[in-house]
Copies of this chain bind each other. A is one copy, B any other.
């Protein structure tokens, strides 16, 4: 077991019972305060740990980092040091904040410089994303979409169980939680026998996804096998891959989704490391037909992560509209990364790869309004009495995720996004 994951560890920082951030988590992110620019941080309970301050005070000595790895606006320089280095860093944090170690806790002056209340900081984009890839790896979602838009009797396309289908997404518009988005405008074709029209999207949707972030991969022309994949994955976050269904329907043939997705993808700002998620590995579904050898895998590479989505109408309370789990994926991250690189495509530090919408078998586990309301035919009742077919202006969409086992809860926090009206 990775030492920092030991369920018996306790921190001298107070951690509430249902916190996503016990000492066993130690995620990484980028934050700023009113006084100071962007820095790298971690988190325990409701305290943000300023890694730049820790570094300057000498608590990170004998680790292969330098000041500019932490006093910066992205995790990339830190991640560039590779898996062994970031693992050692997490272990160091685990040691420093453990009740049994008073190197830091005994120095109140230092503690004041290192810990900041979570209410006093703003979380920024954690990574500079080189390329963003979106997979389509949930059988439930692919089946629902195929049933809704094509043929219920042949909902999955012939390639779906052979290939972890994916496409290139837009990296520039990935934004952190709490950044508001504007309803996008674009071409739609509401009537088959009329010309297309231009205007604000009418069918704005969320997509519940998880995304992983990579270390530097191999050079162009080399591939990463399923066995090697875990060495190239740094950690994960939740992603709301916003979708404009009406724009998508008109534009996506033959080259795939484009403007229907590129206006925004919102992520939870703490990257939870694969090391922290290690205890929550679980078996994936039986894959039938048997996959081609380059997609076969030995080690479990699915993860048991509870997910939920809520909608908060303006000035109202939240209604939970979906409860799902990341373990419902048909294709796992090792297979996704092996497939992505099998043609020699190079992966770089900070690349982000998302799961695609995560939908289970049960209707309450569908990961988009498209599926939950069955294309608007079954509106969802909000607690305030209003109904939703898709997302309204001024609605706020919240996604949360966490794992739990052996008394330890490792969570991702939230991704919270308010939708503003189109200009």
A residues contacting B by CB (< 8 A) are 130-131, 136, 157, 159, 162-163, 165-173, 175, 181-182, 184-187, 189, 195-198, 220-221, 223, 244, 247, 250-260, 262-264, 289, 292-294, 339-340, 342-348, 351
CB-CB under 8 A from A163, the residues of chain B are: 187, 196, 250-251
Q: CA separation between A185 and B130, bound complex, in Å?
A: 23
Q: CA separation between A137 and B137, bound complex, in Å?
A: 30
Q: Could you name 19 residue pairs across A and B whose Cβ atoms are closer than 8 Å? A: A130-B171, A157-B253, A159-B189, A159-B253, A162-B187, A162-B195, A165-B258, A168-B170, A170-B345, A173-B345, A181-B221, A184-B344, A187-B292, A198-B294, A220-B264, A221-B263, A244-B343, A252-B255, A255-B257
Q: Are B251 and A165 in contact (CB under 8 A)?
A: yes
Choose from B172, B175, B189, B254 the contact partner of A131 (Cβ within 8 Å): B172
Q: Are B346 and A173 in contact (CB under 8 A)?
A: yes
Shortest C-beta distance, A188 to chain B (Å), equals 11
Copy number in the complex reads 2
Q: CA separation between A168 and B260, bound complex, in Å?
A: 12
Choose from B165, B187, B344 the contact partner of A263 (Cβ within 8 Å): B344
CB-CB under 8 A from A181, the residues of chain B are: 221
Q: Are A168 and B251 in contact (CB under 8 A)?
A: no
Q: Are B167 and A167 in contact (CB under 8 A)?
A: yes
CB-CB under 8 A from A257, the residues of chain B are: 255-256
Q: Which 5 interchain pairs have the tightest Cβ spacing?
A: A256-B256, A168-B168, A184-B343, A167-B255, A255-B256
> What's the dominant secondary structure at chain A's contact region?
loop
CB-CB under 8 A from A157, the residues of chain B are: 253-254
CB-CB under 8 A from A223, the residues of chain B are: 185
Contact (A251, B343) CB under 8 Å given A167-B256, A170-B168: no
Q: Are B198 and A293 in contact (CB under 8 A)?
A: yes
Q: Are B263 and A170 in contact (CB under 8 A)?
A: no
Shortest C-beta distance, A176 to chain B (Å), equals 12
Q: CA separation between A339 and B220, bound complex, in Å?
A: 31
Q: CA separation between A260 and B196, bound complex, in Å?
A: 31
CB-CB under 8 A from A351, the residues of chain B are: 172
Closest chain B residue, CB of each to CB of A171: B131
Q: Are A182 and B262 in contact (CB under 8 A)?
A: no
Q: CA separation between A252 and B252, bound complex, in Å?
A: 12
Q: CA separation between A195 and B289, bound complex, in Å?
A: 10
Shortest C-beta distance, A246 to chain B (Å), equals 12
Q: Are A159 and B250 in contact (CB under 8 A)?
A: yes
Q: Are B168 and A262 in contact (CB under 8 A)?
A: yes
Choose from B172, B184, B293 the contact partner of A346 (Cβ within 8 Å): B172
